[in-house]
Amino acid sequence: MDNSWVLKREALQLAKQCIATLQLQLGVRLKLANPDFLGLLGDFVDLLEDKDFERDVVELYNFAGLEPIFTVDAKADKTDLVEYLGRSYPRFKDSKEFKSLYRGQPVYA
């Protein structure tokens, strides 16, 4: 993959903004030096479901010349959700019930 997008000032500012958003909302410190930085950002778009964050990541993908494909599950049943710390999570996953968050990831037991 071509990393020339890192040399563009706007792209670098967007990347730093995305890192700050992850740190603030999930407590996850993602490094720009990570070889799978853009892939991890795409995974976090699915987790956060934040439209501003998604827009920034799509713009970063455009700088990198990649096709932004995120697997946000639009078919999730809205009636069976648990609200925890201001965010909604599915109550059940793989026949296990939502318990809490651990390092930004939902815990099911």
pLDDT tens-digit map of 54-95: 999 999 999 988 888 775 444 444 457 888 887 888 888 888
Top pLDDT among 55 and 104 is at 55
| 23 and 44 part of one domain | yes
Please provide the average confidence, as pLDDT, over all residues in the chain.
84
Contact indicator for 4, 38 with CB cutoff of 8 Å? no
Enclosing H/E stretch for 54? helix 51-64
Residue 8 and residue 60 share a domain: yes
pLDDT at site 1: 57
In angstroms, the CA 74 to CA 90 distance is 12
Indicate whether 11 and 59 sit together in one domain: yes
Please give the tally of structural domains in the chain: 2
The stretch 15-29 carries a mean pLDDT of: 92
Instruction: Give the domain extent around 36.
Output: 4-64
pTM: 0.62
